Structure 1
Amino acid sequence: MYLCERVPLANFDSARGNLNAGFGNDKPVEAEKGDSWVYKNKEHGMMSATASLGLSLLWHTDLGFSHVDKYTYSSEQYIKAGALLATGILNSGVRTEADVAKGLIGEYVDNKSVPLKTSAIMGLGLAYAGSHREDLLQLLIPHVSDDGVSMEIASLATLALGFIFVGSENGEITGTILQTLMEKAERGDTVLDEKWVRYIALGFGLLYLGLQDASDTTIETLKVIEHPISKTAQIVVKACAFAGTGNVLKVRAMLHHYGEHIDMKEKEADKDEKREEKKDESAAEGPKEEEVKPPTSGLRCRYDDSTISCTMANQLSGNPCRSRSASQDNDLAVALNAIFAMGLVGAGTNNARLAQMLRQLAGYYYKEPDCLFMVRIAQGLIHMGKGMIGLNPFFSDRSIMSRPAVAGLLATMTAFTDAKHFVLDKYHWMMYFLVTAMYPHFLITVDEQLNTMPVTVRVGQALDVVGQAGKLRTISGFQTPPVRPVMTEQAELAAKEFVPPSHILEAFVICEGWSFIVVFRYFVVLL
């Protein structure tokens, strides 16, 4: 998946030919200086294009450092910033004794250059997501409480801490964020009205991801803050705390917030002006023709708010039929979110129907550079890693939630609540937050010593055998590898001389021989 300025994207006709996440053969970026895609962009475009090298070399730490290192010596600060972000991306989810990422990125956290500082902060967040490293806490937390830094730096530092300490309920981070928000609210600081403050709320919420009722005390404390950010933070913390639980009561409580409009100064001023203009009009006069709005799409006809509309487009567009209608909405903000949602839902599936719909949208929006840019991004997501890499926060047959993966998805969708000022402005590199949720489509069988062992495996459509008696088949219409399993398919061992320790076969599977199991049980009986 490449990200750069929107203009050059029109020159690339095939999404499959230019998106090679994890393949390590990113030729347009790795080319010489005259032909490299990095030098064909400007400023933030250079930063995103250089960072894409980390995505193409994803998890290839040994090979990746040698390719990225040459860009860290560039005199152009945006290229150097992209190299720092690339280092964090290619180390996402990788734990080594060398701990190279911190050594290469950590020294730039206090750099005076804003691009270098932001790249270093988010690079650490992506590289160590879910690690709960205390040494990184002391490195990043001063940027949260420091009044001398901008809201951009403070919010990204909070988000990075949320990535690293996701689901930890860290008391030091919680206290620092609460104290910072309270002090700024008491002073009436206008920085709390900036677009970046939503990431402080999200980083705060990630600390309580999946902890459910453990967030009650923090939510009550947030109510003391006399600023609209208090309500936002309360909702985000509660949403993160119960994410993935399926709690119906919390879902109903969240739905009530869709009907509550946020009081914005600009909107209130506009309403006051309109009231003054209509004072002399007759009360008996019927509504004007342009005031009668017919129902348009989904819940948007009930809640006429741009942020809510964009959020609903992201949430409801999982259905391809709704995606198609919303992606051609008259409101470009809604259309952008619907297009992105199509790519998000079908990420790594190579779904032919979604690919065809996106090709049609590329022709439909050929005069809209923003929408065309988003169509290209969605195409890249559909063919992510040539169909060998997907996005999924749940594992073990959708029974275990990966907190770093959920954090990355939430951070990306938060950027799309105001896509015009984030993804479509100077911060298209925020799309790289998805890297924490990327996973490869593979199944590797190993022995008890973790050595690779070839075993015949069948892949087929999963069957529901819960509550049924007897030894039933768990799949139907199976086929033998090489095959790329999809979401609704499962695998089982075809070789009877081996048995897996779990009935769910995903990623790495330890195959135990029957002789080993019999001997092991024999010794257990003797003991």
Structure 2
Amino acid sequence: MILYSRSNSHTSLHAMYGLAMEIDDEIAADENDKEMLQEIVNNTKLSEGYLTLARDIEVMEAKSPEDIYKVHLIDGRGASSSLDSARQNLAATFVNAFVNAGFGQDKLMTAPSDSSSSGSSGNWLFKNKEHGKASAAASLGMILLWDTDSGLAQLDKYLHSTDTHVVAGALLGIGVVTCGVKNDCDPALAILMEYVNKDDSNIRIGAILGLGIAYAGSQKDELRVQLSAILGDPQATLEVLVFTAVALGLVFVGSCNEEIAQSIIFFLMERSEAELAEPIIRLLPVALGLLYLGKQESVEATAEVSKTFDEKIRKYCDVTLMSLAYAGTGNVLKVQKLLGICSQHLEKGETHQGPAVLGIALIAMSEELGAEMAVRSLERLLQYGEQNIRRAVPLALGILCISNPKVNVMDTLSRLSHDADADVSMAAIISLGLIGAGTNNARIAGMLRNLSSYYYKEAAHLFCVRIAQGLVHLGKGLLTLSPYHSDRFLLSP
């Protein structure tokens, strides 16, 4: 990430964490200084500084997915993958976006129309199917990350497409490209608001999530009014309503906003038994928990209300709220409570033990000793836990050591990547990408190359390997997924 000068460290921290701050005369009396500091807080020059750094260390050259896969280093099996072309192209889209994030150029989406490579952005876009097209269009937002002027101009052409998936992807891309960048004109708001009430569900979801990403943490009241109105729309599909709740959680993360919390609670209470059985409904407790992220006791009133929910979602919601409210606090009592939940034997097919495992990682991740103890506890869960717990353990390890490739965790995940249970092995592969995210770690890169050869006949596993490879080379090593600052002194929401 970009580090600003030490003299302006307090403003750069506000910028990194997306906190709104107006520079007044007490902070800077000189108008030029005030303007410069406001640009830092608004992240206006973030793309420019990022590209300057990339040029200085000579990593500007665009990389293709094949450059990351390094198939020539693998035996013949890895080169002749059985992965179906649509899924292979989707994997390449994600890898391309991760690797070239923020560089403004790549070999798939921004390649010139006369290019002899994979073709222009239009050609690559239509090598995908349905949601693959949406991902390809949205990936342009990642490639042009923080460059709002160029990014919005390039994404605009996709908004005129007759394919709803392309339009939805472009709207999501607008959210990604403007994420963390504050602009007085609010171009993202002006564009996305036009699409939140469209008839097509894909377009609505793209616009709603775009707003959630673009204004994450901003607590913008205009969005509260608009998005809360969608929650009460009887014509909206369940997917639209759930993603609206998630967007509200992102925009008002850590705000403890009671009005939004009540809207989500009422929405949950009104769901039928059939709707509560849908997997997507589990995002609603996550949306509710985001409102109380890291706020500890502030969640207690909402947690009490959650005890009145239908039994299909009650325990899941309770564990999720606790995990998010105490995330990053290192609260030992809450970790012990979650370990106690993991020790229970479930008879009814309940699903709350998975979030309990992830909650252990979220709570313990804030300091070194707690994280080390959590790793040991998770290894015990691997040995003695039931299958639904084992499936969550690799992801918990990935969260605990995100962008921090510890050798013991790396070895554990490498072992689990060959587990007999497909869910465990795929989670371990993704977690190898998480712990190595943005580090260019050579050992993890080698492990993933070997896994691509090992799973060359398994489409789902190979897809996970590709995603992990993209994460390891995130931003060619200039980006990180770690939320910490100053040796774990500060934790970004």
Indicate whether the TM-score tops 0.5. yes
Q: CA deviation at 1:192?
A: 1.0
Q: Is 1:227 aligned to 2:274, yes or no?
A: no
The corresponding residue for 2:342 is 258
Q: How far apart, CA to CA, are the structure 1 residues paired with 2:219 and 2:464?
A: 34
The corresponding residue for 1:320 is 410
1:305-327 CA-partner distances (Å, limit 9, x unpaired): 33x22211211355101010011
Q: For the Cα contact (< 8 Å) 1:15–1:376, is it kept in 2?
A: yes
1:458-510 CA-partner distances (Å, limit 9, x unpaired): xxxxxxxxxxxxxxxxxxxxxxxxxxxxxxxxxxxxxxxxxxxxxxxxxxxxx
Q: Is 1:210 aligned to 2:294, yes or no?
A: yes
Q: How far apart, CA to CA, are the structure 1 residues paired with 2:289 and 2:98?
A: 36
The corresponding residue for 2:4 is none
The corresponding residue for 2:449 is 359
The aligned amino acid for 1:126 is: I
1:302 to 357, 365, 384: 384
1:245/1:321 Cα in 2 relative to 1: closer, same or farther (>3 Å)? same
2:459 to 360, 369, 375: 369
1:211/1:18 Cα in 2 relative to 1: closer, same or farther (>3 Å)? closer
2:101 to 14, 21, 28: 21
Q: For the Cα contact (< 8 Å) 1:26–1:53, is it kept in 2?
A: no
Q: How far apart, CA to CA, are the structure 2 residues paired with 1:11 and 1:181?
A: 37
Q: CA deviation at 1:204?
A: 0.2
Q: How far apart, CA to CA, are the structure 2 residues paired with 1:225 and 1:15?
A: 40
Q: CA deviation at 1:372?
A: 0.7
1:392/1:304 Cα in 2 relative to 1: closer, same or farther (>3 Å)? same
Q: Which has the higher helix share?
A: 2
1:259-313 CA-partner distances (Å, limit 9, x unpaired): 335554799xxxxxxxxxxxxxxxxxxxxxxxxxxxxx8524433233x222112
Q: How far apart, CA to CA, are the structure 1 residues paired with 2:297 and 2:410?
A: 35
The corresponding residue for 2:423 is 333
Q: CA deviation at 1:11?
A: 8.1
The aligned amino acid for 2:440 is: N
Local SS of the residue matching 1:209: coil
Q: How far apart, CA to CA, are the structure 2 residues paired with 1:232 and 1:96?
A: 38
Q: For the Cα contact (< 8 Å) 1:340–1:377, is it kept in 2?
A: yes
Local SS of the residue matching 1:108: coil
The corresponding residue for 1:249 is 333
Q: How far apart, CA to CA, are the structure 2 residues paired with 1:156 and 1:143?
A: 10
Q: CA deviation at 1:181?
A: 1.9
1:105/1:181 Cα in 2 relative to 1: closer, same or farther (>3 Å)? same
Local SS of the residue matching 2:313: helix
Q: Is 1:238 aligned to 2:322, yes or no?
A: yes
1:10/1:208 Cα in 2 relative to 1: closer, same or farther (>3 Å)? closer
Q: How far apart, CA to CA, are the structure 2 residues paired with 1:120 and 1:9?
A: 21
Q: Is 1:37 aligned to 2:124, yes or no?
A: yes
Q: CA deviation at 1:17?
A: 11
Q: How far apart, CA to CA, are the structure 2 residues paired with 1:261 and 1:172?
A: 37
The aligned amino acid for 2:384 is: R
Q: Is 1:163 aligned to 2:250, yes or no?
A: yes
Q: How far apart, CA to CA, are the structure 2 residues paired with 1:367 and 1:263?
A: 35
Q: How far apart, CA to CA, are the structure 1 residues paired with 2:92 and 2:309?
A: 50
Local SS of the residue matching 1:141: helix
1:34/1:235 Cα in 2 relative to 1: closer, same or farther (>3 Å)? closer
1:15/1:73 Cα in 2 relative to 1: closer, same or farther (>3 Å)? closer
The corresponding residue for 2:68 is none
Q: How far apart, CA to CA, are the structure 1 residues paired with 2:438 and 2:168?
A: 28
1:348 to 424, 432, 438: 438
Identity of aligned residues (%): 41
Q: How far apart, CA to CA, are the structure 1 residues paired with 2:165 and 2:452?
A: 30
The corresponding residue for 1:391 is 481
Q: Which has the higher strand share?
A: 1
Q: For the Cα contact (< 8 Å) 1:16–1:383, is it kept in 2?
A: no
Q: For the Cα contact (< 8 Å) 1:58–1:91, is it kept in 2?
A: yes
Q: CA deviation at 1:148?
A: 3.7
The corresponding residue for 1:273 is none
Q: Is 1:128 aligned to 2:212, yes or no?
A: no
Q: How far apart, CA to CA, are the structure 1 residues paired with 2:460 and 2:482?
A: 27
Q: CA deviation at 1:385?
A: 0.8
Q: How far apart, CA to CA, are the structure 1 residues paired with 2:144 and 2:489?
A: 30
1:322-370 CA-partner distances (Å, limit 9, x unpaired): 0100111111111111111111111100111111111111101100111
Q: CA deviation at 1:27?
A: 3.0
Q: How far apart, CA to CA, are the structure 2 residues paired with 1:177 and 1:397?
A: 36
Which contiguous aligned blocks of 4+ residues in structure 1 show a shift greater than 6 angstroms? 1-4, 9-12, 14-18
2:268 to 154, 164, 181: 181
1:41-62 CA-partner distances (Å, limit 9, x unpaired): 1111000011110000000111
Q: For the Cα contact (< 8 Å) 1:394–1:400, is it kept in 2?
A: yes
Aligned residues: 370
Q: CA deviation at 1:205?
A: 0.2
The corresponding residue for 2:53 is none
Q: CA deviation at 1:183?
A: 2.8
Q: How far apart, CA to CA, are the structure 1 residues paired with 2:292 and 2:456?
A: 43
Q: For the Cα contact (< 8 Å) 2:96–2:108, is it kept in 1?
A: no
Q: How far apart, CA to CA, are the structure 2 residues paired with 1:65 and 1:15?
A: 22
Q: For the Cα contact (< 8 Å) 2:97–2:143, is it kept in 1?
A: no
1:383/1:182 Cα in 2 relative to 1: closer, same or farther (>3 Å)? same
Q: CA deviation at 1:16?
A: 8.1
2:176 to 89, 105, 113: 89
Q: For the Cα contact (< 8 Å) 1:2–1:49, is it kept in 2?
A: no
* TM-score after normalising by structure 2: 0.71
Q: How far apart, CA to CA, are the structure 1 residues paired with 2:310 and 2:162?
A: 45
1:11/1:71 Cα in 2 relative to 1: closer, same or farther (>3 Å)? closer
The aligned amino acid for 1:228 is: K
